[in-house]
Structure 1
Amino acid sequence: MTAPHEQHVDGFGTVRIRPLDPASDADVVHAWVSEERAVFWGMNGLTRTQVAEIYAHMAGLDTHHAHLVTKDGVPAALFQTYEPAADRVGECYDVLPGDLGVHVLLAPPGPDGPRPGWSSALLTVLTTYALRVQGRRRLVADPDVRNTRAIARFERQGFVRGPQVVLPEVDLPDVYLPEKHAQLAFLERTAL
Protein backbone atom coordinates (compact mmCIF):
# COMPACT_ATOMS: atom_id res chain seq x y z
CA MET A 1 0.00 0.00 0.00
CA THR A 2 1.32 3.41 -0.89
CA ALA A 3 1.96 6.11 1.69
CA PRO A 4 -0.16 9.27 1.61
CA HIS A 5 1.09 12.08 -0.60
CA GLU A 6 0.41 15.74 0.13
CA GLN A 7 0.99 18.73 -2.12
CA HIS A 8 0.11 22.38 -1.66
CA VAL A 9 -0.99 24.28 -4.78
CA ASP A 10 -0.84 28.06 -4.54
CA GLY A 11 -4.25 29.61 -5.01
CA PHE A 12 -5.96 26.20 -4.82
CA GLY A 13 -5.20 24.49 -1.52
CA THR A 14 -3.65 21.34 -0.14
CA VAL A 15 -4.29 18.09 -1.99
CA ARG A 16 -3.77 14.79 -0.21
CA ILE A 17 -3.75 11.40 -1.91
CA ARG A 18 -4.15 8.43 0.42
CA PRO A 19 -5.13 4.79 0.06
CA LEU A 20 -8.90 4.35 -0.03
CA ASP A 21 -10.34 2.65 3.05
CA PRO A 22 -13.09 0.41 1.63
CA ALA A 23 -15.14 0.48 4.84
CA SER A 24 -14.82 4.03 6.12
CA ASP A 25 -14.84 5.68 2.67
CA ALA A 26 -17.77 3.62 1.33
CA ASP A 27 -20.44 6.26 1.99
CA VAL A 28 -18.60 8.96 0.03
CA VAL A 29 -17.60 6.70 -2.85
CA HIS A 30 -21.04 5.08 -3.08
CA ALA A 31 -22.71 8.51 -3.26
CA TRP A 32 -20.40 9.55 -6.11
CA VAL A 33 -20.60 6.36 -8.19
CA SER A 34 -24.41 6.26 -7.82
CA GLU A 35 -24.92 9.60 -9.57
CA GLU A 36 -26.06 9.66 -13.18
CA ARG A 37 -22.95 11.66 -14.14
CA ALA A 38 -20.86 8.62 -13.05
CA VAL A 39 -22.65 6.13 -15.31
CA PHE A 40 -19.38 5.39 -17.14
CA TRP A 41 -17.78 4.36 -13.84
CA GLY A 42 -19.99 1.26 -14.08
CA MET A 43 -21.34 1.16 -10.53
CA ASN A 44 -24.76 2.78 -10.92
CA GLY A 45 -27.32 0.66 -9.13
CA LEU A 46 -24.88 -1.01 -6.74
CA THR A 47 -25.49 -0.90 -3.01
CA ARG A 48 -23.09 0.68 -0.53
CA THR A 49 -22.08 -2.84 0.56
CA GLN A 50 -21.37 -3.94 -3.01
CA VAL A 51 -19.19 -0.87 -3.63
CA ALA A 52 -17.30 -1.50 -0.37
CA GLU A 53 -16.78 -5.16 -1.39
CA ILE A 54 -15.37 -4.16 -4.79
CA TYR A 55 -12.85 -1.83 -3.17
CA ALA A 56 -12.02 -4.37 -0.44
CA HIS A 57 -11.20 -6.85 -3.24
CA MET A 58 -9.05 -4.23 -4.97
CA ALA A 59 -7.22 -3.47 -1.70
CA GLY A 60 -6.01 -7.07 -1.71
CA LEU A 61 -4.38 -6.75 -5.13
CA ASP A 62 -0.77 -5.77 -5.76
CA THR A 63 -1.53 -4.43 -9.23
CA HIS A 64 -4.59 -2.21 -8.74
CA HIS A 65 -4.91 0.57 -6.15
CA ALA A 66 -7.69 2.96 -5.16
CA HIS A 67 -6.96 6.33 -3.56
CA LEU A 68 -9.20 8.92 -1.97
CA VAL A 69 -8.09 12.43 -2.85
CA THR A 70 -8.95 15.33 -0.58
CA LYS A 71 -8.60 19.08 -1.05
CA ASP A 72 -8.16 20.93 2.23
CA GLY A 73 -9.51 17.84 4.02
CA VAL A 74 -12.68 17.53 1.91
CA PRO A 75 -13.11 14.49 -0.39
CA ALA A 76 -12.41 15.66 -3.96
CA ALA A 77 -11.80 12.61 -6.15
CA LEU A 78 -11.45 8.87 -6.45
CA PHE A 79 -8.14 8.02 -8.15
CA GLN A 80 -7.38 4.48 -9.27
CA THR A 81 -4.03 3.32 -10.58
CA TYR A 82 -3.17 -0.04 -12.07
CA GLU A 83 -0.51 -2.00 -13.88
CA PRO A 84 -1.72 -2.16 -17.51
CA ALA A 85 -0.02 -5.54 -18.07
CA ALA A 86 -2.22 -6.99 -15.29
CA ASP A 87 -5.41 -5.44 -16.64
CA ARG A 88 -7.60 -6.05 -19.68
CA VAL A 89 -6.32 -2.82 -21.24
CA GLY A 90 -2.96 -4.57 -21.59
CA GLU A 91 -4.54 -6.81 -24.24
CA CYS A 92 -5.35 -3.74 -26.37
CA TYR A 93 -2.05 -1.87 -26.76
CA ASP A 94 1.70 -2.43 -26.47
CA VAL A 95 2.43 -1.90 -22.78
CA LEU A 96 5.81 -0.26 -22.20
CA PRO A 97 7.96 -0.48 -19.07
CA GLY A 98 6.97 2.39 -16.79
CA ASP A 99 3.32 2.58 -17.95
CA LEU A 100 0.65 3.18 -15.31
CA GLY A 101 -3.09 3.05 -15.92
CA VAL A 102 -5.29 5.70 -14.31
CA HIS A 103 -8.99 6.20 -13.68
CA VAL A 104 -10.29 9.44 -12.16
CA LEU A 105 -13.74 10.25 -10.77
CA LEU A 106 -14.04 13.84 -9.59
CA ALA A 107 -16.36 14.74 -6.73
CA PRO A 108 -19.56 16.47 -7.78
CA PRO A 109 -19.56 20.28 -7.67
CA GLY A 110 -20.38 21.72 -4.27
CA PRO A 111 -23.35 23.93 -3.42
CA ASP A 112 -21.70 26.89 -5.18
CA GLY A 113 -21.64 25.02 -8.51
CA PRO A 114 -18.72 24.43 -10.88
CA ARG A 115 -15.36 25.85 -9.85
CA PRO A 116 -13.26 27.24 -12.72
CA GLY A 117 -9.76 25.74 -12.79
CA TRP A 118 -10.58 23.22 -10.07
CA SER A 119 -10.35 20.02 -12.13
CA SER A 120 -7.19 21.22 -13.89
CA ALA A 121 -5.43 21.93 -10.58
CA LEU A 122 -6.53 18.61 -9.11
CA LEU A 123 -5.51 16.61 -12.19
CA THR A 124 -2.13 18.34 -12.26
CA VAL A 125 -1.46 17.02 -8.76
CA LEU A 126 -2.68 13.52 -9.69
CA THR A 127 -0.60 13.27 -12.86
CA THR A 128 2.47 14.70 -11.12
CA TYR A 129 2.02 12.17 -8.32
CA ALA A 130 1.66 9.24 -10.73
CA LEU A 131 4.53 10.22 -12.99
CA ARG A 132 7.07 11.79 -10.66
CA VAL A 133 6.35 10.44 -7.17
CA GLN A 134 5.53 6.94 -8.43
CA GLY A 135 8.41 7.20 -10.90
CA ARG A 136 6.39 6.28 -13.99
CA ARG A 137 7.24 7.17 -17.59
CA ARG A 138 3.76 7.22 -19.09
CA LEU A 139 0.12 7.26 -17.98
CA VAL A 140 -2.66 5.55 -19.91
CA ALA A 141 -6.32 6.44 -19.51
CA ASP A 142 -9.15 4.41 -21.03
CA PRO A 143 -12.42 6.35 -20.78
CA ASP A 144 -15.54 5.02 -22.48
CA VAL A 145 -15.72 6.39 -26.04
CA ARG A 146 -19.12 7.93 -25.20
CA ASN A 147 -17.63 9.87 -22.29
CA THR A 148 -16.67 12.87 -24.38
CA ARG A 149 -16.31 15.12 -21.32
CA ALA A 150 -13.64 12.86 -19.77
CA ILE A 151 -11.81 12.51 -23.08
CA ALA A 152 -11.76 16.29 -23.55
CA ARG A 153 -10.63 16.77 -19.93
CA PHE A 154 -7.72 14.37 -20.41
CA GLU A 155 -6.73 16.15 -23.63
CA ARG A 156 -6.79 19.56 -21.89
CA GLN A 157 -4.50 18.00 -19.29
CA GLY A 158 -1.97 17.08 -21.99
CA PHE A 159 -2.96 13.49 -22.75
CA VAL A 160 -2.66 12.50 -26.42
CA ARG A 161 -5.33 10.32 -27.98
CA GLY A 162 -4.36 6.81 -28.89
CA PRO A 163 -6.52 4.26 -30.64
CA GLN A 164 -10.11 3.38 -29.85
CA VAL A 165 -10.17 -0.18 -28.53
CA VAL A 166 -12.59 -2.77 -27.20
CA LEU A 167 -11.68 -3.91 -23.70
CA PRO A 168 -12.79 -7.54 -23.41
CA GLU A 169 -15.38 -8.75 -20.93
CA VAL A 170 -13.98 -10.06 -17.64
CA ASP A 171 -16.07 -12.73 -15.90
CA LEU A 172 -14.28 -14.15 -12.86
CA PRO A 173 -15.67 -15.39 -9.53
CA ASP A 174 -14.78 -12.09 -7.78
CA VAL A 175 -14.92 -9.65 -10.72
CA TYR A 176 -17.28 -8.97 -13.59
CA LEU A 177 -16.62 -6.22 -16.11
CA PRO A 178 -18.66 -5.93 -19.30
CA GLU A 179 -17.00 -5.31 -22.64
CA LYS A 180 -16.06 -1.63 -22.98
CA HIS A 181 -15.40 0.52 -26.03
CA ALA A 182 -12.62 2.81 -24.84
CA GLN A 183 -10.60 5.74 -26.11
CA LEU A 184 -7.00 5.30 -25.04
CA ALA A 185 -5.08 8.44 -24.12
CA PHE A 186 -1.44 8.75 -23.05
CA LEU A 187 0.55 11.28 -21.05
CA GLU A 188 4.36 11.10 -21.15
CA ARG A 189 6.40 12.25 -18.15
CA THR A 190 8.29 14.60 -20.48
CA ALA A 191 4.97 16.45 -21.10
CA LEU A 192 4.93 17.77 -17.54
Structure 2
Amino acid sequence: MPPIDASTDAGPVPAPVHHPDCADPGGDGEDTLELRLPDEFVTLFTAETAGTAPCGGCAPAGGHALGGTMQTGAQSASTDDLLDGAGGWGPVATPVGTFELARVRVERDLPLISRWMNDPAVSAFWGLAGSPTRTEEHVRAQLDGDGRSVPCVGMLDGTPMSYWEVYRADLDPLARHYPARPHDTGIHLLIGAVADRGQGLGSALLRSVADLVLDHRPACARVVAEPDLRNTPSVAAFLSAGFRFGAEVDLPAKRAALMLRDRTLRHLM
Protein backbone atom coordinates (compact mmCIF):
# COMPACT_ATOMS: atom_id res chain seq x y z
CA MET A 1 0.00 0.00 0.00
CA PRO A 2 2.18 2.85 -1.23
CA PRO A 3 1.80 6.27 0.39
CA ILE A 4 -0.94 8.63 -0.59
CA ASP A 5 -0.28 12.04 -2.06
CA ALA A 6 0.88 14.79 0.25
CA SER A 7 -0.48 17.53 -1.96
CA THR A 8 -3.13 16.56 -4.48
CA ASP A 9 -4.41 20.08 -4.81
CA ALA A 10 -3.02 21.84 -1.79
CA GLY A 11 0.13 23.07 -0.13
CA PRO A 12 1.77 21.57 2.96
CA VAL A 13 -0.45 20.00 5.57
CA PRO A 14 0.09 20.55 9.27
CA ALA A 15 0.59 17.03 10.58
CA PRO A 16 3.18 14.88 8.79
CA VAL A 17 2.18 11.25 8.76
CA HIS A 18 4.52 8.57 7.49
CA HIS A 19 2.69 5.85 5.60
CA PRO A 20 3.19 2.38 7.06
CA ASP A 21 4.39 0.88 3.81
CA CYS A 22 7.22 3.31 3.15
CA ALA A 23 10.74 2.08 3.76
CA ASP A 24 10.83 2.94 7.45
CA PRO A 25 12.63 0.89 10.05
CA GLY A 26 10.08 2.08 12.59
CA GLY A 27 7.10 0.81 10.58
CA ASP A 28 5.25 -2.44 10.80
CA GLY A 29 7.07 -4.04 7.90
CA GLU A 30 4.08 -4.44 5.62
CA ASP A 31 4.92 -3.98 1.98
CA THR A 32 2.73 -4.15 -1.09
CA LEU A 33 5.19 -6.23 -3.06
CA GLU A 34 5.78 -8.76 -0.28
CA LEU A 35 2.14 -9.53 0.47
CA ARG A 36 1.27 -13.14 -0.29
CA LEU A 37 -1.76 -13.57 -2.53
CA PRO A 38 -4.64 -14.62 -0.27
CA ASP A 39 -5.91 -18.14 -0.87
CA GLU A 40 -9.47 -16.88 -1.33
CA PHE A 41 -8.38 -14.66 -4.22
CA VAL A 42 -6.50 -17.51 -5.89
CA THR A 43 -9.60 -19.67 -5.56
CA LEU A 44 -11.87 -16.92 -6.89
CA PHE A 45 -9.65 -16.11 -9.88
CA THR A 46 -9.38 -19.80 -10.75
CA ALA A 47 -13.16 -20.03 -10.63
CA GLU A 48 -13.46 -16.95 -12.83
CA THR A 49 -11.34 -18.65 -15.46
CA ALA A 50 -13.78 -21.54 -15.51
CA GLY A 51 -16.68 -19.10 -15.68
CA THR A 52 -18.21 -20.34 -12.42
CA ALA A 53 -17.80 -17.40 -10.03
CA PRO A 54 -19.12 -13.85 -10.06
CA CYS A 55 -16.55 -11.07 -9.69
CA GLY A 56 -17.87 -9.43 -6.54
CA GLY A 57 -19.67 -6.69 -8.45
CA CYS A 58 -17.01 -6.41 -11.14
CA ALA A 59 -17.79 -6.21 -14.84
CA PRO A 60 -18.24 -9.67 -16.34
CA ALA A 61 -15.74 -9.17 -19.16
CA GLY A 62 -11.97 -9.07 -18.82
CA GLY A 63 -9.92 -9.70 -15.70
CA HIS A 64 -7.06 -11.94 -14.65
CA ALA A 65 -6.73 -15.59 -13.87
CA LEU A 66 -3.74 -16.71 -11.87
CA GLY A 67 -1.96 -19.64 -13.42
CA GLY A 68 -3.55 -19.32 -16.85
CA THR A 69 -4.74 -16.94 -19.53
CA MET A 70 -8.27 -15.59 -19.67
CA GLN A 71 -9.71 -15.09 -23.11
CA THR A 72 -11.99 -12.11 -23.74
CA GLY A 73 -13.40 -12.12 -27.23
CA ALA A 74 -10.52 -11.85 -29.69
CA GLN A 75 -8.15 -10.59 -27.00
CA SER A 76 -6.30 -12.33 -24.22
CA ALA A 77 -4.83 -11.00 -20.99
CA SER A 78 -1.55 -12.38 -19.71
CA THR A 79 -1.86 -13.47 -16.10
CA ASP A 80 1.34 -11.66 -15.12
CA ASP A 81 -0.25 -8.34 -16.08
CA LEU A 82 -2.34 -7.69 -13.02
CA LEU A 83 -3.20 -4.14 -14.11
CA ASP A 84 -4.08 -4.58 -17.78
CA GLY A 85 -1.21 -2.60 -19.22
CA ALA A 86 -1.21 0.37 -16.82
CA GLY A 87 1.45 2.82 -17.88
CA GLY A 88 0.81 2.12 -21.54
CA TRP A 89 -2.76 3.27 -22.01
CA GLY A 90 -1.87 6.23 -24.19
CA PRO A 91 -2.87 9.90 -24.04
CA VAL A 92 -6.31 11.17 -23.12
CA ALA A 93 -7.91 14.59 -23.46
CA THR A 94 -8.70 16.27 -20.14
CA PRO A 95 -10.06 19.73 -19.23
CA VAL A 96 -6.51 20.80 -18.38
CA GLY A 97 -4.73 19.40 -21.43
CA THR A 98 -3.61 16.13 -22.97
CA PHE A 99 -2.57 13.74 -20.23
CA GLU A 100 -0.75 10.43 -20.30
CA LEU A 101 0.49 7.98 -17.70
CA ALA A 102 3.95 6.79 -18.76
CA ARG A 103 5.48 3.82 -16.97
CA VAL A 104 8.54 4.98 -15.05
CA ARG A 105 11.92 4.47 -16.71
CA VAL A 106 14.46 4.78 -13.91
CA GLU A 107 17.31 6.11 -16.04
CA ARG A 108 15.11 8.86 -17.46
CA ASP A 109 12.79 9.71 -14.59
CA LEU A 110 14.66 9.12 -11.33
CA PRO A 111 16.28 12.58 -10.98
CA LEU A 112 12.94 14.33 -11.37
CA ILE A 113 10.98 11.98 -9.11
CA SER A 114 13.68 12.16 -6.46
CA ARG A 115 13.56 15.96 -6.54
CA TRP A 116 9.80 15.85 -6.03
CA MET A 117 10.20 13.43 -3.12
CA ASN A 118 12.50 15.91 -1.40
CA ASP A 119 9.82 18.58 -1.31
CA PRO A 120 8.86 18.81 2.40
CA ALA A 121 5.13 18.79 1.55
CA VAL A 122 5.64 15.49 -0.28
CA SER A 123 8.21 13.84 1.98
CA ALA A 124 5.93 14.35 4.99
CA PHE A 125 3.66 11.68 3.51
CA TRP A 126 5.83 9.63 1.20
CA GLY A 127 8.89 9.42 3.44
CA LEU A 128 11.34 9.17 0.54
CA ALA A 129 13.39 12.33 1.01
CA GLY A 130 17.15 12.02 0.85
CA SER A 131 19.42 10.33 -1.65
CA PRO A 132 18.00 9.37 -5.06
CA THR A 133 18.88 5.81 -4.09
CA ARG A 134 15.98 5.76 -1.68
CA THR A 135 13.50 6.72 -4.37
CA GLU A 136 15.12 4.31 -6.81
CA GLU A 137 14.67 1.40 -4.40
CA HIS A 138 11.00 2.31 -3.95
CA VAL A 139 10.39 2.48 -7.69
CA ARG A 140 12.44 -0.57 -8.67
CA ALA A 141 10.65 -2.69 -6.09
CA GLN A 142 7.49 -2.11 -8.11
CA LEU A 143 9.06 -2.40 -11.56
CA ASP A 144 10.79 -5.66 -10.60
CA GLY A 145 7.84 -7.01 -8.61
CA ASP A 146 4.90 -9.17 -9.63
CA GLY A 147 2.99 -6.36 -11.32
CA ARG A 148 0.48 -5.48 -8.62
CA SER A 149 1.77 -1.88 -8.49
CA VAL A 150 2.90 0.20 -11.47
CA PRO A 151 4.77 3.50 -10.98
CA CYS A 152 4.09 6.14 -13.62
CA VAL A 153 5.02 9.68 -14.52
CA GLY A 154 2.07 11.90 -15.40
CA MET A 155 2.71 13.82 -18.63
CA LEU A 156 0.57 16.89 -19.21
CA ASP A 157 0.90 18.27 -22.76
CA GLY A 158 4.17 16.37 -23.01
CA THR A 159 5.66 17.72 -19.77
CA PRO A 160 6.28 15.46 -16.76
CA MET A 161 4.44 17.03 -13.82
CA SER A 162 3.24 14.32 -11.45
CA TYR A 163 4.03 10.87 -10.07
CA TRP A 164 1.40 8.13 -9.85
CA GLU A 165 1.12 4.59 -8.60
CA VAL A 166 -1.68 2.41 -9.93
CA TYR A 167 -2.02 -0.67 -7.78
CA ARG A 168 -4.22 -3.66 -7.05
CA ALA A 169 -5.92 -2.60 -3.83
CA ASP A 170 -7.43 -6.05 -3.39
CA LEU A 171 -3.93 -7.56 -3.29
CA ASP A 172 -2.49 -4.83 -1.07
CA PRO A 173 -2.26 -4.62 2.75
CA LEU A 174 -5.03 -2.01 2.46
CA ALA A 175 -7.41 -4.91 1.76
CA ARG A 176 -7.00 -5.99 5.39
CA HIS A 177 -8.66 -2.78 6.52
CA TYR A 178 -11.77 -2.49 4.33
CA PRO A 179 -14.18 -4.89 2.56
CA ALA A 180 -12.15 -5.22 -0.62
CA ARG A 181 -13.61 -6.63 -3.82
CA PRO A 182 -11.65 -8.52 -6.47
CA HIS A 183 -9.92 -6.16 -8.91
CA ASP A 184 -10.34 -3.05 -6.76
CA THR A 185 -7.72 -0.66 -8.13
CA GLY A 186 -5.99 1.98 -6.06
CA ILE A 187 -4.26 5.17 -7.12
CA HIS A 188 -1.69 7.39 -5.42
CA LEU A 189 -0.65 10.79 -6.70
CA LEU A 190 1.74 13.61 -6.06
CA ILE A 191 1.85 16.85 -8.01
CA GLY A 192 5.48 17.74 -8.60
CA ALA A 193 5.68 21.51 -8.93
CA VAL A 194 4.44 23.78 -6.17
CA ALA A 195 3.00 26.12 -8.83
CA ASP A 196 0.77 23.31 -10.10
CA ARG A 197 -0.87 22.76 -6.72
CA GLY A 198 -4.08 24.44 -5.69
CA GLN A 199 -5.05 25.08 -9.31
CA GLY A 200 -7.61 22.32 -9.72
CA LEU A 201 -5.15 20.08 -11.58
CA GLY A 202 -5.34 17.36 -8.96
CA SER A 203 -9.11 16.98 -9.19
CA ALA A 204 -9.11 17.04 -13.00
CA LEU A 205 -6.34 14.46 -13.27
CA LEU A 206 -7.74 12.21 -10.55
CA ARG A 207 -11.01 12.02 -12.46
CA SER A 208 -9.22 11.33 -15.73
CA VAL A 209 -6.99 8.62 -14.29
CA ALA A 210 -9.92 6.95 -12.53
CA ASP A 211 -11.72 6.91 -15.87
CA LEU A 212 -8.63 5.43 -17.53
CA VAL A 213 -8.62 2.64 -14.97
CA LEU A 214 -12.31 1.88 -15.50
CA ASP A 215 -11.97 2.06 -19.28
CA HIS A 216 -8.96 -0.25 -19.46
CA ARG A 217 -9.77 -2.60 -16.56
CA PRO A 218 -13.24 -3.98 -17.35
CA ALA A 219 -13.14 -6.34 -14.36
CA CYS A 220 -12.64 -3.43 -11.97
CA ALA A 221 -15.87 -2.12 -10.45
CA ARG A 222 -14.34 0.72 -8.46
CA VAL A 223 -11.23 2.81 -7.96
CA VAL A 224 -10.11 3.43 -4.38
CA ALA A 225 -7.81 5.79 -2.47
CA GLU A 226 -7.00 6.41 1.18
CA PRO A 227 -5.90 10.01 1.90
CA ASP A 228 -5.23 11.02 5.47
CA LEU A 229 -8.41 12.36 7.05
CA ARG A 230 -6.52 15.43 8.23
CA ASN A 231 -5.53 16.31 4.69
CA THR A 232 -8.81 18.07 4.01
CA PRO A 233 -7.76 19.60 0.66
CA SER A 234 -6.75 16.16 -0.63
CA VAL A 235 -10.05 14.61 0.45
CA ALA A 236 -11.88 17.52 -1.19
CA ALA A 237 -9.95 16.94 -4.42
CA PHE A 238 -11.08 13.31 -4.52
CA LEU A 239 -14.67 14.36 -3.91
CA SER A 240 -14.44 16.89 -6.74
CA ALA A 241 -13.06 14.13 -8.95
CA GLY A 242 -16.19 12.01 -8.58
CA PHE A 243 -15.09 9.87 -5.65
CA ARG A 244 -17.43 9.31 -2.73
CA PHE A 245 -16.49 9.02 0.92
CA GLY A 246 -16.85 5.39 1.92
CA ALA A 247 -15.67 5.18 5.52
CA GLU A 248 -13.01 6.14 8.00
CA VAL A 249 -10.33 3.47 8.04
CA ASP A 250 -7.78 2.90 10.79
CA LEU A 251 -4.49 2.07 9.10
CA PRO A 252 -1.32 1.28 11.06
CA ALA A 253 0.04 4.84 10.84
CA LYS A 254 -2.95 7.04 10.08
CA ARG A 255 -6.71 7.36 10.08
CA ALA A 256 -7.69 7.52 6.44
CA ALA A 257 -10.68 8.49 4.38
CA LEU A 258 -11.61 5.58 2.14
CA MET A 259 -12.54 7.19 -1.17
CA LEU A 260 -14.36 5.22 -3.86
CA ARG A 261 -15.19 5.91 -7.49
CA ASP A 262 -17.78 3.40 -8.63
CA ARG A 263 -18.15 2.30 -12.23
CA THR A 264 -21.95 2.44 -11.91
CA LEU A 265 -21.83 6.05 -10.70
CA ARG A 266 -19.05 7.41 -12.89
CA HIS A 267 -21.40 9.33 -15.19
CA LEU A 268 -23.41 10.74 -12.29
CA MET A 269 -20.62 12.09 -10.10
**Is TM > 0.5 for Structure 1 vs Structure 2?**
yes
Residue 107 of structure 2 corresponds to residue 107 of structure 1: no
Query: Aligned residue for 2:246?
Result: 162
Are the structure 2 counterparts of residues 8 and 84 from structure 1 closer, same or farther at C-alpha, using a change threshold of 3 Å? closer
RMSD of aligned residue pairs (Cα, Å)? 2.2
Q: Contact between 1:162 and 1:186, CA under 8 Å: does it hold in 2?
A: yes
Aligned positions of 1:7-86 closer than 5 A: 7-9=91-93, 12-61=96-145, 62-86=147-171
TM-score by length of 2: 0.61
Q: Contact between 1:144 and 1:181, CA under 8 Å: does it hold in 2?
A: yes
Aligned positions of 1:99-178 closer than 5 A: 99-110=184-195, 116-135=199-218, 136-168=220-252
Query: Aligned residue for 2:19?
Result: none
Distance between the aligned counterparts of 1:95 and 1:165, measured in 2?
A: 12
Are the structure 2 counterparts of residues 40 and 99 from structure 1 closer, same or farther at C-alpha, using a change threshold of 3 Å? farther
Instruction: Structure 2: state its 5+ residue gaps.
Output: 1-80
Distance between the aligned counterparts of 2:226 and 2:138, measured in 1?
A: 19
Instruction: Structure 1: state its 5+ residue gaps.
Output: 169-178
Query: Aligned residue for 1:96?
Result: 181
Which is worse superposed, 114-123 or 78-87?
114-123
* 3-state SS of paired residue (1:185): strand
Residue 265 of structure 2 corresponds to residue 191 of structure 1: yes
Aligned amino acid, residue 212 of structure 2: Y
* 3-state SS of paired residue (1:5): coil
Query: Aligned residue for 2:54?
Result: none
Q: Deviations over 1:107-147 (max 9, x none)?
A: 2244xx65744333322321111111222210110112222
Q: Contact between 1:88 and 1:167, CA under 8 Å: does it hold in 2?
A: no
Residue 12 of structure 1, CA deviation: 3.2
Overall identity of the aligned pairs, in %: 24
Bigger CA radius of gyration:
2
Residue 35 of structure 1, CA deviation: 1.0
Q: Deviations over 1:10-40 (max 9, x none)?
A: 6632211111123321111111121122145
* 3-state SS of paired residue (2:238): helix
Distance between the aligned counterparts of 1:72 and 1:57, measured in 2?
A: 28
Residue 105 of structure 1, CA deviation: 1.1
Residue 74 of structure 1, CA deviation: 0.6
Are the structure 2 counterparts of residues 159 and 52 from structure 1 closer, same or farther at C-alpha, using a change threshold of 3 Å? same
Distance between the aligned counterparts of 2:134 and 2:232, measured in 1?
A: 28
TM-score by length of 1: 0.83
Aligned amino acid, residue 55 of structure 1: V
Query: Aligned residue for 1:173?
Result: none
